[in-house]
Amino acid sequence: MRYAYSKGWLQLVTLMECENALRDPYRKAEWKEDSWGFCMINRRWHKDIVDNQLFRNDWKWQIDQCNRLMVGGTKFYWRNRKINWVKCSDYVLSRFVIGWQ
């Protein structure tokens, strides 16, 4: 998460946490869509990223791709998700502490 924060600040961290709270770079979406990784990149629209060997083998590269897509305007659905009836982004921001050593 520190690496993600260094790349996309709190917006990228929140996106990743809301898309994949397990922080599992190999996670596949539970629904029918073919979405994968830290930020559930959809293979239908981003096959070049999801099928790239680096996607499965280099977690930093995967985070860089999440950030590139986010900055480039790709629509992610994390803003619409709710946790305990609270908007996911508000929930994450209320409990997430980033400390530097």
Reported as a single tens digit per residue, the pLDDT across 41-93 is: 999 999 999 999 999 999 999 999 999 999 998 888 766 777 778 787 777 77
Neighbours of 29 (CB within 10 A): 16
Instruction: Please indicate, yes or no, if residue 58 is contained in any of the structural domains.
Output: yes
Residue 57 placed within a domain:
yes
Structural domain includes residue 84 = yes
**Domain total for the chain?**
1
**100 inside domain:** no
Residue 66 belongs to domain spanning: 2-95
Instruction: Scan for tokens 């898309």, then name that residue.
Output: 19
| Nearest-angstrom CA–CA distance, 47 and 41 | 9
Q: What is the model's pTM? A: 0.80
Residue 101, in any domain of the structure: no
